[in-house]
Amino acid sequence: MSMTTVTKEHFDVLVAGGGVAGVCAAIAAARHGCKVALVQDRPVLGGNSSSEIRVPPGGAATPQPWARETGIVEELQLEDRARNHDPIWEGTMNSNWDLVLYEWVRREPNLKLFLNTSVRDAVMASPGKLAAALCAQTGSERTFALHAAVFVDCTGDGTLGAAAGAEFRHGREARSEFGESLAPEQADSKTQGSSLFFRARDVGRPVTFTPPPWAEDYPTEESLHKRSHGMFRRREYSGSASMASADDQTRYKGEYAGYWWIEVGVPYNTISDNPAIRDELLRHVLGVWDHIKNHGNHGAENLALDWVGMVPGKRESRRLMGDHILTENDVRNHPLFPDRVAYGGWFMDIHTMGGILAKGQPPEALSGDHDKSDER
C-alpha cells in the first residue's frame, strides 16, 4: 500500500482527543446510538491522567469527603478503584487505569477507536462547515479521512477547531474585558505551564543518585521556595490521612511521587515549544530528585527513581470560542444555564506565570492576583 493512500470512513460523531473528556464524550454518543470515531494521538487513553503523564483525575468531588462525580467518569473511577492497587496521587496513576478506559471504550459496539492517530488537518465542505478530519496513524503508516456530521474537539490544544478555522484565544484577557478581579490589567499571551512527574520507590537498601551535569541545582530548602516535597504517604488519600489503614500506611511508607509545581510555561509556548518544555522540565525533575537524595535529610536513602515522565502534562493552550465564554464571574456565582449538560467544581487554580522558572516566587500567588506583590 502506498503511504499516501487515504482511507475514507464515515461516522455520525468524531471525537478528537482521548483524554477523560474525549472518552466520556465518545461513550455517551455511542450509547445514544451514534456511530462514533474516537481519535487519540497516544498509544493509551486518558490524556493527562494516563500512565504516560499521571495526573490523577479530579473534579468537584475531590475536596468533598462524601461526594461522588456521577455519570460515565464515575463508572470509570469506581472500576479503577476496584481493580487498582496504588493510591491516587500525582505520579501514581498506572496502566490499570489505562486499561479501564480502553475496556470501557471497546465495550461500545458503535464506537471505533483510533489509537496512535493524530489530527493533521481539516477537510472543509464549505467555509465554516467541517466535512472530515485528516488523520495520520503512526506504526501503520496509514492516513485517514474521517467524515462525520458532528465533531467534538477534546484535543486539549483545540487542534481540530483551529485547523477548521474556528475562532480561538490564547493567553489572558485584560481585567476590564469581563470584570474579572484576578485577571491582569493588560491582556497578554501568558499561560500556565506544563509539568512532568516522577515516582521513586524504596528498594530496601541504600542507593545513590548522581544527576546529569545539565540538571538544575537545588542545594538548599530555600532554593525550592514554598514548594513542599515530602513523601506522599502522608497524603495518599484525598480525605484525611487517618482514613488509611495501618497496612496501607506501611505499604506506601517511603515513596516519593509528584510534583505539580515542577511546572514550566512562560516564556515558552505550550504548543510550538512542547519539545523544549519537556527538556527543560527534565532538568528540573532530576534537579529536584537530586535535592531530595543528596541535600538535607529527606529519608530517601533507600529510594530509587522508578519512573520519570517524558510527556508534558499541559494545563493551558488554545481556547476555542463558543456561544458563551466561561469567566471568573461564572465560577464565583455558579449560574445554572438553561441548556446545561455538565458541571465543574475545581477551584480557581491560578499558578505563578513561569512556574519553577519564577525563582523566589511561590508556585501559586498567595493573593491569587499576579499583578500584586505577594509576600515572598
pLDDT in tens, 61-97: 888 888 999 999 999 999 999 999 888 889 999 999 9
Q: 102-155: per-residue pLDDT in tens?
A: 999 999 999 999 999 999 999 999 999 999 999 999 999 999 999 999 999 999
pLDDT in tens, 237-255: 444 333 444 444 444 456 8
Q: Which residue has the cell 464571574?
A: 329
Beta strands in the chain (DSSP E): 6-16, 36-39, 111-114, 117-126, 129-137, 142-153, 168-169, 194-195, 198-202, 256-258, 263-264, 303-308, 313-314, 319-320
Higher pLDDT, 336 or 65: 336
Q: Is the pLDDT of residue 265 over 70?
A: yes
* Residue 376 reports pLDDT greater than 50: no
Give the bridge partners for 153, in sequence order. 16
Domains of the chain: 6-166 (3.50.50.60), 194-314 (no CATH)
Query: What is the reported pLDDT for 365?
Result: 79
CA distance 199 to 309: 9
Closest listed residue to residue 40, CA positions, set 23, 53, 55: 23
Taking 70 as the threshold, does the pLDDT of residue 52 lie above it? yes
Distances, alpha carbon 181 to alpha carbons 14, 169, 368, 372, in Å: 38, 19, 9, 12
At residue 372, the pLDDT reads 54
User: Per-residue pLDDT tens for 140-168?
Assistant: 999 999 999 999 999 999 999 999 999 99
